[in-house]
Structure 1
Amino acid sequence: MPKPQTAAPTGLRDILVGLTEEGRGDETASALSVGLSLAGLTGAHLTIQSAARHLTLVAGAGWGFVNDLVVEENRRLSARARAVAERAVTEAALEGVSCSIEVPALAYPELVGRLTARARLADLTVLDAEARELDLDRDLIDGVLFGSGRPLLVVPPGCDAFSARRILVAWDGSAQAARAANDALPFLRAAEAVEIVSVVGEKDLSTAVAGAEFAPHLARHGVNVSVNSVPVQGDAAQTLERQASLFGAEMLVMGAYRHSRLKE
């Protein structure tokens, strides 16, 4: 369990947490816990979108029984989504956090579009990580990453409070890496230690701006920064995961790249 964050990131005024009720019964709530904790730390307003996935009715004669089941399931999912949102409002009030909720019931594509559009109005969106490759939550992550133009914090299972005392910044000199690091400045300034790490050997970085050249920029923003280059072991993701563990990082900052779901 991470220790509570002591230094508060500055500049965050609106935080959005996206939750989705799909009826599986195994939905995680780490994003909500982290969002509440971060809003309490920064004094930001918290918006919770607790959405229910709306199942589509089947057209045609003879499908009445099936449609009755679909209607009942939609009622159940909406009730569960609202219950989650109302519990969150109560928790926010106890923590002294300003909070508003949305409880839409939408079909698959509209649900992704709604969260993506709402994310454009927030300083930061917080979502739960999803291990399954083909899952609505994965599409929500992709939608916010590539469609909102705003930063996204993806929270792994088991996190019950925000903490980012030590942060690893993945750096390859790309526009995506620069944008991610800039978006993360509130967290980088508040961290005790930040390491810029470049993975060497996976792709050609000979013409890229080196991490050592980027570090002074962060230092001028008051970031306690160091630089490291590590040889690739396995692939870049595995190497970064290993380095994050060695550094004791509680947050990994990296740019987002479009890959096919099959390649991922």
Structure 2
Amino acid sequence: MYRKILVPLSNAAFGMAAALDAAIHVGRIFGSEVEVLYARPAPEALILVLGKGFAGTMLESALREVQAKIGKDCEAAHERMQRICGQAGSSADDDAVSRPCPQVVWREVEGPADRMTGIAARFADLIMFAKPETGDVTDSVWRSMFDAALFASARPVILMPSLPVPLSASRIMIAWNGTPQATRAVAAALPLLRRAQSVFIGTAGLDEDLQRDAEGLKEYLLVHEVDAQVEHLPKSLRETGSVLLGMASQFEADLLVIGGHGRNRLREWTLGSTTSHVVELATIPVFLVH
């Protein structure tokens, strides 16, 4: 069960509408509390940057302007959140619409957005993210927050497309490769899998061990009252992420469950190539766990 859903935001409020709309939808289904976490940059952290070229009263004036801008951005994001909550109500799931809207809590913290996100995400059952409204998943602030939520919390993350789409999760595809990350993703997604009308286990590659493993997953899901079908695709010259997205499209999936693979490069988490490809190009919600 997802009792607490976290929607992390930065001063730029990336993808708020898509993430919050999806969080409210899931919150209705599971009776969750939705916490919107807004990370305000600390003005003091800008002193070193602003200090170059400024002195004395000029620096003080510049800092006051920065503080005022931060305050205005925060107030604008809060007002936008309230508008989104007021408009919440449309959903592809009639059962969800009939349930009361979840409590939405606004919480402001001061500090680096990625660090604040990683800390808060540890104490949530589900983290709801959306791609930037510009669609640019390479934006450094957004990417640092997303990576912190995925790699620093051990909690599941649902990544929504930049434009709000219904998170019906009625046709779910599991991208299965037998790794611990994929196993954790399936376990974390069980509440949604149980509610789905159709569940599809997709594997890329005709390795016999992987095929047996997928059949084992099917049996495991049956124990949890989830009836899934299995499809094995042969290896392709295309990027594995493209194969998985193509398979999801063929299945008409409205949610893709995948392990969030990563590697540590220069002490910074970076997504593996397959996961990066899915994160960048997916047009449906993606459920990830590292």
> TM-score if structure 1 supplies the norm length?
0.82
Find the aligned partners of 1:61 and 1:226 in 2 and give their Cα distance: 61
> Of 248, 254, 258, which aligns to 1:250?
254
Q: CA deviation at 1:147?
A: 0.9
Determine if the alignment matches structure 1 residue 170 to structure 2 residue 175.
Answer: yes
- Answer whether contact 1:167 1:194 (CA < 8 A) is retained: yes
Q: CA deviation at 1:51?
A: 2.4
Shift in alpha-carbon separation, 1:27–1:52, aligned structure 2, 3 A: farther
Counterparts in 2 of 1:54-73, with a 5 A limit? 54=42, 56-58=46-48, 60=51, 62-64=53-55, 65=58, 68-69=61-62, 71-73=64-66
SS of 1:117's equivalent?
helix
Equivalent position of 2:70 in the other structure: 77
- Answer whether contact 2:19 2:160 (CA < 8 A) is retained: yes
Counterparts in 2 of 1:99-110, with a 5 A limit? 99-106=104-111, 110=112
- Answer whether contact 1:50 1:102 (CA < 8 A) is retained: yes
Q: CA deviation at 1:28?
A: 5.3
Cα deviation digits, residues 77-111 of structure 1 (max 9, x gap): 332223323442465477632121112242xxx32
Determine if the alignment matches structure 1 residue 188 to structure 2 residue 193.
Answer: yes
Find the aligned partners of 1:27 and 1:163 in 2 and give their Cα distance: 19
Deviates more, 1:49-58 or 1:117-126: 49-58
SS of 1:159's equivalent?
coil
- Root-mean-square deviation (CA, aligned residues, Å) is 2.6
SS of 2:262's equivalent?
coil
Equivalent position of 1:123 in the other structure: 125
Equivalent position of 1:22 in the other structure: 12
Equivalent position of 2:3 in the other structure: 13
Equivalent position of 1:6 in the other structure: none
Find the aligned partners of 1:199 and 1:78 in 2 and give their Cα distance: 49
Find the aligned partners of 1:75 and 1:105 in 2 and give their Cα distance: 15
- Answer whether contact 1:15 1:124 (CA < 8 A) is retained: yes
Cα deviation digits, residues 36-90 of structure 1 (max 9, x gap): 2221232211100122344612365741446644542343233222332344246
Aligned residues: 246
- Answer whether contact 1:21 1:27 (CA < 8 A) is retained: no
Determine if the alignment matches structure 1 residue 226 to structure 2 residue 229.
Answer: yes
- Answer whether contact 1:78 1:105 (CA < 8 A) is retained: no
Find the aligned partners of 1:132 and 1:61 in 2 and give their Cα distance: 31
Deviates more, 1:35-44 or 1:191-200: 35-44
Find the aligned partners of 1:73 and 1:160 in 2 and give their Cα distance: 35
Find the aligned partners of 1:160 and 1:68 in 2 and give their Cα distance: 43
- Structure 1 segments unaligned to the other structure (5+ residues): 1-10
Equivalent position of 2:95 in the other structure: none
Find the aligned partners of 1:20 and 1:170 in 2 and give their Cα distance: 30
> Could you tell me which amino acid in structure 1 is paired with residue 150 of structure 2?
L
Equivalent position of 2:245 in the other structure: 241
Q: By percentage of residues, which structure has more helix? A: 2
Deviates more, 1:220-229 or 1:80-89: 80-89
> TM-score if structure 2 supplies the norm length?
0.75
Deviates more, 1:152-161 or 1:248-257: 152-161
- Answer whether contact 1:22 1:77 (CA < 8 A) is retained: no
Shift in alpha-carbon separation, 1:181–1:170, aligned structure 2, 3 A: same
- Structure 2 segments unaligned to the other structure (5+ residues): 89-100, 277-290
